[in-house]
């Protein structure tokens, strides 16, 4: 999906899905986070025009929805790569070497925290404690949780081989 596709108007499926999410709550606004997460899953991030359309479906103004969207760190209002790496930076993971993993990602993929790789494959973001401290350091890639991560495991998870790492 290109960036342009990710900014295309909502299709019928998406509109129906958002209507279904709204039906789960006493108010349409309550479905705001579900709706944002839903469109983000399909489009990687929530573009301005997407936000406006979702807001309209929820009976909100763009500002009202953006207040919510920009508050929560798992809603992306800027383009992200194909795979978002959420690398825990809370205490136990910090103690057990998350900074080394971040450095490894920088060396192999070339991105620092908050950046997206030039090939649009990866975005690295910090995340608060993932509740996996007994397997620190931990991270999530997409929806998948990984524990006891070391550089070798990281390469494996991200399919980084020696050759095409950069």
Partner 1 sequence: MDLNHLDLTVDQIIITARPGQNILEACLSAQQDIPYFCWHPALGSVGACRQCAVKVFSGPEDQTGQIVMACMTPVTPGMRLSIADPAVAQFRDRVIEFVLTNHPHDCPVCEVGGECHLQDMTALVKHDERRYRFTKRTHLNQNLGPFIRHEMNRCIGCYRCARFYRDYAGGRDFGVFGSNRNIYFGRAESGTLESEFAGNLVEVCPTGVFVDKPFSARFRRKWDMRATPSICPHCAVGCNITVQEREGEFRRVTNRYNETLNGYFLCDRGRFGTGFLESDARLRGAKRRQDGNTTVAIELAEARADLAARLNHDGVIGIGSPRASLEANFALRAVVGADHFYAGVSDQDAAVLDTAIRLMRDHAMPIASLADTENADAALILGDDPSDIAPRLALSLRQLGQRATTETLAARQIPAWNDTPARLAAEGHRTPLMIATPMATRLDDCAAISRHLTPNAIIALAFALAHRLDDTAPGVASDDPVLAGQIAGLLCHAASPVIVVGGNTCGSALLLGAANLVIALRRAGSAARLLIMLPEVNSVGLGLLAAKPLSAALAAMTAGTAKRVIVLENDLHRRAEVEALEWAFATVDSLCVLDHIETPTTGAADLAIGVGSFADSDCTFVNLEGRAQRGFKAIFSPAEPPQSWQVLRDAGLDAGRIASGSWHNHAALIEAITIAIPSLAGCTQVWPDAPYDDMQRPATLPHRYSGRTAVNADRNVREPKPFANPDSPLGTTMEGAVLRADSALVPYFWSPGWNSAQAVNKYQSSIGGQLASGGAGILLFGGSAGHTGYFPMPPLVPPSDQTVFLPVTRVFGSEELSALSPAVAARMSAPSVSLNPQEAARLALTAGDRVDCTIGTTVVSRVVSIEAGLANGIAGLTIGFPGEAGLNLPGVGDIHAVSGDPS
Partner 2 sequence: MSAIPTKPLTRNITRGEIPLDIASYERADGYVAVRDTLGKVDPAAIVQMITDSGLGGCGGGGFPTGRKWQLMPTRAQRPGPRYFVVNADEMEPGTFKDRLLLEGDPHQMIEGIILSAYAVQADVAFIFVRGEYVTAIERLNIAIAQAAAAGLLGANIFGSGYNLSIQVHGGAGRYICGEETALLNSLEGKRAIPRSKPPFPQINGLWGCPTIVNNVETVCNVPHIVRYGTDWYRGLGANGAVGTKIYGVSGRVNRPGTFELPMGTSMRAMIDDCAGGMKDGYRLRAVLPGGASTGFLPEDQMDVPMTFADMAKRGTRLGTGTAIVLDDRTCPVGFIANLQQFFARESCGWCAPCRDGLPWVERTLKSIETGTGVARDLDILTEMTDNLGPGRTFCALAPGAMASLQSGLKYFGDVFRQHIDSRACPWT
Binding site for partner 1 (CB under 8 A): 48, 51, 60-64, 66-67, 70-73
Instruction: Choose from partner 1, partner 2, none: what does 132 bind? Cβ within 5-8 Å by kind.
Output: partner 2
- 158, 141 Cβ separation under 8 angstroms: yes
Please state the closest distance from residue 49 (CB atom) to partner 2, in A: 20
Q: Which of 13, 158, 1, 39 is nearest to 87 (CA)?
A: 158
Determine the Cα–Cα distance for residues 78 and 24; give it in Å rounded to an integer: 28
Which one of residues 58, 105, 111, 160 is an interface residue with partner 2 (CB under 8 A)? Answer: 58
CA distances from 144 to 50, 85, 139 (A): 26, 10, 8
Instruction: CB nearer to partner 1: give 67 or 99.
Output: 67
51 vs 88, beta carbon nearer partner 1: 51
Work out the angle at residue 148's Cα, subtended by the Cα atoms of residues 144 and 151, and round it to the nearest 5 degrees. Answer: 95
Asked whether position 74 contacts partner 2 by CB under 8 A, the answer is yes
DSSP tag of 30: G
**CB of 75 closer than 8 Å to CB of 46:** yes
128 is a contact residue toward partner 2 (CB under 8 A): yes
Q: Name which of 19 and 118 has its Cβ closer to partner 2.
A: 19
Cα dihedral 120, 122, 126, 130, rounded to 10, equals 140
Q: Which of 48, 44, 53, 43 is nearest to 9 (CA)?
A: 53
Using CB under 8 A as the binding rule, whether residue 100 contacts partner 2 is answered as no
75 binds partner 2 (CB under 8 A): yes
Taking CB under 8 A as the criterion, the residue among 11, 20, 67, 119 binding partner 2 is: 67
Give contact residues for partner 2 (rule: CB under 8 A): 24-27, 29-34, 36-37, 58, 67-68, 71-75, 86, 89-92, 94-96, 127-136, 140, 143, 145
């Amino acid at each position: 999906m290109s960036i342009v596709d990710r900014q295309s108007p909502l299709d019928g499926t998406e509109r129906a899905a958002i209507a279904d999410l709204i039906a789960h709550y006493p108010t349409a606004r309550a479905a705001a986070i579900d709706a944002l997460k839903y469109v983000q899953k399909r489009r990687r991030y929530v573009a301005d025009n997407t936000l406006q359309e979702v807001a309209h479906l929820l009976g909100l103004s763009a500002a009202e929805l953006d207040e919510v969207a920009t508050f929560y760190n798992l809603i992306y209002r800027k383009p992200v790569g194909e795979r978002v790496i959420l690398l825990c930076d809370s205490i136990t993971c910090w103690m057990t070497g998350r900074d080394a993993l971040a450095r490894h990602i920088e060396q192999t993929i070339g991105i620092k925290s908050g950046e997206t790789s030039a090939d649009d494959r990866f975005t690295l973001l910090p995340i608060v404690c993932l509740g996996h401290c007994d397997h620190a350091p931990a991270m999530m890639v997409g929806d998948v949780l990984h524990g006891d991560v070391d550089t070798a495991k990281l390469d494996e998870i991200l399919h980084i081989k020696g050759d095409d790492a950069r």
